[in-house]
Amino acid sequence: MSGVLSMLCVILILSVATTTVRAGLKCDAVRPYFEAQGFPASDIPKEAIPSKELKICGSVRSGGEVCCSADMEVRLQARARDKHEKETKETLQRLHQVLSTRDTRFQSFFKELLTESKRSFHEMFKLTYGVLYEQNAYLFTDLFKELENYYAKGTVNLDVTMDNFFNMLYQKMFTVLNSQYKFNSKYLECVRNHMNAMRPFGDAPQKLGVQIKRSFVATRTFSQALNVAADILKNMQSLKPSADCAAALTRMTVCPSCSGIAGNVLACGDMCTNVMKGCLAQHAALDAEWNHFVEAVDKVADRLLGPFNIEMLMKPIGLKISEAIMNFQESSHEVSQKVFSGCGRPVLGRRRRSDNRELELESLNFDQESSTDDHVAGAAVLDKLVKEIRQRVRDSRQFWVYLPYKLCNDGLVVPPSNTKECWNGTHVDKYIYPISSNGETQTLNPEVRSLGPRPTIVKDQIFALTTITNRLKSAYNGQDVDWIDTEETEWNSSGSGSGGGTDQDNPITDDEDGFNEGSGYEPKSPPPEAPKQPPPAGHPEVVPPRVEGDRKTGGDSTTSNSNSTSTADSGAGRQKMSLSRALTTYLVPIVVMWFGGCLTEWL
């Protein structure tokens, strides 16, 4: 009898427990949440339904009951996927905007620099050489146009451009300094052929050619790198979440409510990290090449702040060319005699008086102070801009492996201190699985395992990163960069291209600017793997850490000062002229031309 009573008690207890469970799943607690999600009251189950009707949350409540219909689960899954996709796009878009804005500023500064250099050049040469410059101004305007075309399109061969410029300048000067003779095209061709042997301009063409080539190559590559990186961030926004990712997002964010848990409980931090690492595994495939890209940009920025400084080159370019002209004039008699010996004595002729009008010597101004002040101010603007861009790019190191932590911290997880009061995928309790490793491989990820093959869009972005990184390395080493596959663009934009860079066997070197053999690009060891644990409590925003040492004034100023010293020796150091040097540079050409005109009149 007592055994029968015991059995009845057990049956009674089980019946009460079952009734309690069923009573707890009347779904009243979660109805307000579903209504807030836009579901009409008629679509929300009034009583719990068998969990087997659901594909994702049904496995969580296996053998139990849920408060979602199959249709509701499908719609909630679509919302979870769309929300994840939107948040990922917004995060990528923020970095895209940072890089794109800096590239626009850099291009604007460079455009203004070239415009101002061209204007200053024209004014100086017009005052110095007067009508003779105006008659041959196209030589110089064509040079600036070619430099602008290189920066805008990358289709200009800078070596050929500089050779053609000095060849034409040589022929024009030869005819001016020997204006008493008549020259036909065949004779001028012979004159051109003697240029390399006689070096009438001294070493000025070689030095200026090296400086222009490496500065313009580095400047354009730096700008293109920002453009390519911004394009990659934009292109990766089109990558859609996989089906397994959508299921994991649903299990993490939807199933708590479907299980009847009120209050929109948040996921455990480690669970969210695993879900996001699985969902963003294809994004993480870019991390290694992105870090190489960041390092390459950093090194080219150092060159732009030092020996490859485009501002230090373009501001005094008129003085550099004027010195080349002066070198020719100092040896003009010797050069002419050698040409006459090799090409024959030309025929005497008379030139019109109007070709040798008087020059207003009083209009010449040798005060260099104002231009020097402008130069220093401009250099400060360029240094500040390059340093800011460099730091922004540095901050993006390991961006792709930190992305899962960043998204989890944006309100998806509870603080780590509440590890037993979070959704672990099946119920509210501590998450028991370890955090998966960083990177593309997620075979041991307990939340998202099936990734499938690498999408074409990801392959394309990795290839673009590899290509621009190789071009940055070439630019850093003073080598040429092949832009043959780069789409031609307007001045205020630049194509990102996807072809391989060309590394020449013999990089250009110039000891005058502190650029020596053996200072080539040496990649550092790969960056350490991102932390295995999520960030500290309090929902901090996880972003790649700033390198504080790089922000110290001492670090930048040391590099800047040492580089500025070497650069000043090659360019800006000639800004302040002595009066005697200025008179020699500017007046000797005028006197020689005036003397040539007198000879013409006498003959």
What is the pLDDT at residue 301? 96
Tens-place pLDDT, residues 354-393: 343 332 323 333 333 344 455 555 567 888 999 999 999 9
The pLDDT of residue 352 is above 50:
no
From 17-21, 198-202, 461-465, the region with the lowest mean pLDDT: 17-21
Q: What is the mean pLDDT of residues 108-121?
A: 92
The pLDDT of residue 518 is above 50:
no
Determine how β-strand 347-348 pairs with β-strand 181-182.
Answer: antiparallel
Confidence of residue 468 (pLDDT cuts 50, 70, 90): very high
Tens-place pLDDT, residues 22-69: 344 568 888 888 888 888 888 888 888 888 878 888 776 555 788 888
What is the pLDDT at residue 603? 37
Q: Which of 204 and 350 is assigned the larger pLDDT?
A: 204
Q: What is the mean pLDDT of residues 390-418?
A: 85
The pLDDT of residue 453 is above 60:
yes
Q: What is the mean pLDDT of residues 442-454?
A: 83
What is the DSSP code string of 65-106? EES--HHHHHHHHHHHHHHHHHHHHHHHHHHHHHHHHHHHHH
What is the pLDDT at residue 515? 42
What is the pLDDT at residue 461? 96
Characterize 377-397 residue by residue with b for buried, 16 or more Cβ atoms within 10 angstroms of its Cβ, and e for exposed. ebbeebbebbbebbbbbbbbb
Q: Which range scores top for mean pLDDT: 49-58, 168-177, 285-294? A: 285-294
What is the pLDDT at residue 554? 38
From 12-21, 354-363, 485-494, 551-560, the region with the lowest mean pLDDT: 354-363
The pLDDT of residue 514 is above 80:
no
The pLDDT of residue 242 is above 60:
yes
Q: Which of 28 and 222 is assigned the larger pLDDT?
A: 222
Q: What is the mean pLDDT of residues 431-459?
A: 87
Q: What is the mean pLDDT of residues 482-498?
A: 49
For a pLDDT cut of 90, what percent of the chain falls above it?
36
What is the pLDDT at residue 398? 94
From 118-127, 432-441, 535-544, the region with the lowest mean pLDDT: 535-544
SS3 499: coil
From 10-14, 67-71, 241-245, 268-272, the region with the lowest mean pLDDT: 10-14
The mean of the pLDDT values for the chain is 75
Q: Which range scores top for mean pLDDT: 238-252, 341-355, 442-456? A: 238-252
The pLDDT of residue 513 is above 70:
no
pTM above 0.85, yes or no: no
16: its two tokens: 């009460």
**Cα distance between residue 171 and residue 166, in whole Å:** 9
Q: Where are the alpha helices (DSSP H) in 254-357?
A: 255-258, 269-279, 281-284, 287-305, 310-314, 317-330, 332-343
Confidence of residue 397 (pLDDT cuts 50, 70, 90): very high
Rg of the chain on CA atoms, in Å:
36
356: its two tokens: 């040798």
Q: Which of 254 and 508 is assigned the larger pLDDT?
A: 254
| Residue at token pair 């013409």 | 600
453: its two tokens: 């093959």
